[in-house]
Amino acid sequence: MDLVLIESLGVDTVIGVYDWERTITQRLLLDLELATDIRPAARDDDIALTLDYAAISERIEAFAGEHDFALVETFAERLATTLRQEFAIGWLRLTVRKPGAVAAAEAVGVRIERGSPPEVS
């Protein structure tokens, strides 16, 4: 299994359950592992044959700007669905962290996996 990684991608969005959180944007930090077979892209040195992490990152930033959710869980679930549909991703692991949400913690968040893990060859 090959993975395309996007680590510590910062996006600003309206997120939170408290009234004051609904009036501001807050930063989320995302880590993604996206399953793909990189061999065709590596063989031909062709970005069209792999997952374009720049395009995916841009889509995530747009998604964050287009939506507002109360729960980090909802953000994660809807983003995972969007990415899997728009980029034909069979499996992904997504971690969403919300820094500063709990005073005693650096960040809180969720980690989800969606899709079927590819076979290890």
Whether 16 and 70 have beta carbons less than 8 Å apart is answered as: yes
Q: Which of 4, 32, 51, 98 is catalytic?
A: 98
Catalytic: 42? no
Q: What is the three-class DSSP state of 117? A: coil
Q: Which residues contact 94 (CB under 8 A, 6 or more apart)?
A: 30, 31, 32, 76, 79, 80, 111, 112, 113, 114
Q: Which residues are catalytic?
A: 98
